[in-house]
């Protein structure tokens, strides 16, 4: 009996397990951002309440109490969370497996969707690996609900934007979108619905019927999605109406919505994984010197350099070149992800005009915020990068799987040109490092509250290493394509080689970004659970030790995460089953916001 999952699909999952192996067997635990201080204690608490009550409805430990199922990110109804957190493992270890399972799912679902679009099996596996191991998807381990969304997204969107051989595309798509909502990511479902409706509308206006999906199929999928996720959908909708974001002033909502806008200069990460240096464990991120760089959503959007061959070699055949639906999705999603980097921002920085105006003016995100109903309650433009990664993965697979191949001389010219360019950049950076006296920055001129002073020379060294990585990757991809065009290997052999190179390339690039540490429970305070009290968290100045800002330490991640746990930062109080009045939650109610506004006025 033939397996429904081809063996080539297991290459990326093996790599994913190796990448997170330190955390899968109780040795270390995942750190950095929300996976540590927010979701690990939250899912521990949901596990505890579920084991006692079956279906817990109310959480008395956050603020003055809130509906547990009203917060979508609790994933109370999500079957995979319930199943995995029922296993007899430590919560930290279970969280690591939860992350790995969904990264593997992202690889499988993207590969499956590609095959249903008519892409051959080994090439579809390439698309699955490229999507799941891309920086955009892989780094979502720091935000599990959005990783759940990424894992189900290919099954949610492909049946409704590309004609497939599926018998019931609406049922598959609806099931996937329902799982995304139950898993805590309704926003990506809303984004997917926007793209699906936009694609259908454009095809209708342009009278294009190629690969089109009937409107009734899309409508049925949306109705089924609501029905399948009804308990979570209704409670989340009701609780979101209490959100402070809904009642805030327009300027406040717009400012919050623009957070994590994707800076256009970070497109360089499509060519090399670490184009600007790292943020942790030491502060080497040189892009922070660029005004407006902002907070990072993902440290890199790198997904290999094979896409560059696909793009530029396609341009050599302009007569047959046209923008497909996936090309349109990639371009539109990328423009939306720019957020406040709109046309007005470009005019402000290029010509110094329109100062004081909304920098996002004229951009797609700005237009959707102001004119698309419901969009103004969402935030973080960088979430649209997920669609960019998926679309590029499918574009590369469709390009490689087409019957008409490209000229080997074009492959050779492009590959050599890239190698020369990168070699020149490596040489230039090496000269800068050797003449470090030219970089005359005062000590402490740029610091981070966690990772300390910016190390410019360290950043340049990381960029040089990243460029070297890209040189090796380009050589591997280019050589394989050249051999294919020369007839020295068949398409099946070439696709298997490219699959191996994609996995090695992206796993090596991802390794520095997986933050984990060994936690010693003896160093944290313990509070007797029989003590009844309501804690009010306070802070002095920034709330973090000054030594963190003023010094560098390669082991800082362990110190930061342990301190967060000890101080109940985020939702660590849930792990100790203690109520905290002013803690971090997914949605802060308008009443709590009003309370703190009144307190500020009284104590001024």
Give percent above pLDDT 90 in the chain: 52
CA 54/CA 48 separation, integer angstroms:
10
Kindly state the tokens that stand for 95: 């969280």
Confidence class of residue 585 from pLDDT cuts 50, 70 and 90? confident
Q: How many residues does the chain have?
A: 604
Listed in sequence order, the residues at least 6 apart from 210 whose beta carbon sits closer than 8 Å to its beta carbon are none
The sign of the CA dihedral 578, 579, 583, 589 is positive
Residue 542's pLDDT is: 67
The mean-pLDDT minimum among 211-220, 391-400, 419-428 falls in: 211-220
**Is pLDDT of 294 > 90?**
no
**Is pLDDT of 250 > 80?**
no
Residue 441's pLDDT is: 59
**Which residue has better confidence, 333 or 405?**
333
CA 61/CA 71 separation, integer angstroms:
14
Kindly state the tokens that stand for 533: 């009290």
* pLDDT tens digits along 12-61: 999 999 999 999 987 889 988 899 999 999 999 999 999 888 888 899 99
Are 127 and 394 a contacting pair, CB within 8 Å?
Answer: yes
* pLDDT tens digits along 164-175: 888 889 999 999
Chain centroid, CA 118 distance in Å: 27
* pLDDT tens digits along 63-87: 888 899 888 899 999 999 999 999 9
**Is pLDDT of 442 > 80?**
no
Give strand ranges (E) for 404-487. Answer: 447-448, 452-453
Residue 479's pLDDT is: 93
Kindly state the tokens that stand for 479: 């050589």
Q: Is 489 helix (H, G, I), strand (E, B) or coil?
A: coil
Per the listing, tokens 């000890």 go with 566
Residue 98's pLDDT is: 97
Select from 183, 137, 139 the least CA-distant residue to 31.
139
The sign of the CA dihedral 404, 408, 413, 414 is positive
Per the listing, tokens 């008409």 go with 404
145-217-325 Cα angle (round to 5): 70
Residue 2's pLDDT is: 45
Residue 166's pLDDT is: 85
Residue 206's pLDDT is: 75
Chain centroid, CA 66 distance in Å: 28
**Is pLDDT of 446 > 90?**
no
Peptide bond into 281 cis (omega under 30): yes
Quote the pTM value: 0.93
What is the average pLDDT across 423-450?
79
Select from 230, 99, 91, 149 the least CA-distant residue to 571.
91
Select from 461, 474, 322, 291 the least CA-distant residue to 395.
322
Residue 444's pLDDT is: 57
Select from 497, 513, 312 the least CA-distant residue to 396.
312
* pLDDT tens digits along 298-331: 999 999 999 999 888 887 765 555 678 899 999 9
Are 590 and 244 a contacting pair, CB within 8 Å?
Answer: yes
Per the listing, tokens 């340049």 go with 460
DSSP states along 49-109? HHHHHSS--EETTBTT-EETTTSGGG-TT-HHHHHHTTSSS-HHHHHHHHHHHHHHHHHHH
What is the average pLDDT across 245-271?
85
Per the listing, tokens 């349109």 go with 328
Residue 1's pLDDT is: 34
CA 67/CA 302 separation, integer angstroms:
39
Helices (H), 438-455: none
Question: What is the b/e burial string over 465-491, where b = at least 16 CB atoms within 10 angstroms of the residue's CB?
Answer: ebbebbbebbebbbebbbbbbeeebee
């Amino acid at each position: 009996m033939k397996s429904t999952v081809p063996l080539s699909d297991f290459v990326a999952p093996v790599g994913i397990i190796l990448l997170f192996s330190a955390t899968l067997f109780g040795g270390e635990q995942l750190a950095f951002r929300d996976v540590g201080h927010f979701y690990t204690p939250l899912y521990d608490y949901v596990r505890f309440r579920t084991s006692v009550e079956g279906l817990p409805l109310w959480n008395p430990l956050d603020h003055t109490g809130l509906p547990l199922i009203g917060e979508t990110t609790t994933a109370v109804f999500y079957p995979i969370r319930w199943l995995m957190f029922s296993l007899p493992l430590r919560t930290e270890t279970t969280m690591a497996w939860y992350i790995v399972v969904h990264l593997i799912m992202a690889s499988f679902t993207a590969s499956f969707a590609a095959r249903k679009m008519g892409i051959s099996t080994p090439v579809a596996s390439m698309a699955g690996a490229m999507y799941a191991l891309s920086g955009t998807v892989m780094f979502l381990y720091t935000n599990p609900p959005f990783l759940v969304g990424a894992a189900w997204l290919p099954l949610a969107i492909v049946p409704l934007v590309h004609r497939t051989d599926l018998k019931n595309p609406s049922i598959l798509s609806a099931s996937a979108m329902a799982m995304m909502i139950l898993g805590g990511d309704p926003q990506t479902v809303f984004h997917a619905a926007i793209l699906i409706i936009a694609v259908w509308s454009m095809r209708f206006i342009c009278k294009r019927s190629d690969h089109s999906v009937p409107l009734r199929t899309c409508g049925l999928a949306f109705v089924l999605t609501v029905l399948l996720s009804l308990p979570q959908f209704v409670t989340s909708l009701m609780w979101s109406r209490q959100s402070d974001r809904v009642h805030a002033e327009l300027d406040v909502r717009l400012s919050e919505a623009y957070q994590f806008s994707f800076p256009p200069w970070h497109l360089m990460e499509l060519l090399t994984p670490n184009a600007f240096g790292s943020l942790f464990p030491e502060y080497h991120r040189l892009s922070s010197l660029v005004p407006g760089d902002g907070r990072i959503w993902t440290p890199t959007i790198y997904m290999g350099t094979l896409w560059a061959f696909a793009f530029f070699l396609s341009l050599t055949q302009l007569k047959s070149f046209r923008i497909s639906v996936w090309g349109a999705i990639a371009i539109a999603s990328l423009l939306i992800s720019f957020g406040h980097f709109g046309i007005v921002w470009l005019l402000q920085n290029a010509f110094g005009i329109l100062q004081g105006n909304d920098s996002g003016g004229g951009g797609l995100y700005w237009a959707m915020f102001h004119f698309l109903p419901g969009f103004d309650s969402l935030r973080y433009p960088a979430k649209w990068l997920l669609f960019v990664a998926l679309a590029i993965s499918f574009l590369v697979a469709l390009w490689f799987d087409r019957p008409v191949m490209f000229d080997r001389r074009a492959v050779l010219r492009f590959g050599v040109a890239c190698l020369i360019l990168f070699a020149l950049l490596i040489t230039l950076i090496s000269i800068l490092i050797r003449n470090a006296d030219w970089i005359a920055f005062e000590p402490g001129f740029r610091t981070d509250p966690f990772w300390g002073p910016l190390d410019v020379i360290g950043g340049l060294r990381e960029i040089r290493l990243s460029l070297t990585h890209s040189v090796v990757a380009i050589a591997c991809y280019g050589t394989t394509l050249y051999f294919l065009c020369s007839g020295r290997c068949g398409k099946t052999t070439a696709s298997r080689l490219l699959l191996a190179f994609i996995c090695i390339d992206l796993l090596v690039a991802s390794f520095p970004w997986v933050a984990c540490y060994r936690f010693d429970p003896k160093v944290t305070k313990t509070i007797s659970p029989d003590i009844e009290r309501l804690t009010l968290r306070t802070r002095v100045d920034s709330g973090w030790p000054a030594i963190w800002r003023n010094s560098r330490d390669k082991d800082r991640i362990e110190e930061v995460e342990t301190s967060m746990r000890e101080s109940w930062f985020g939702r660590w109080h849930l792990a100790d089953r203690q109520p905290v009045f002013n803690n971090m939650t997914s949605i802060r109610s308008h009443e709590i916001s009003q309370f703190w506004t009144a307190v500020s006025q009284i104590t001024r």
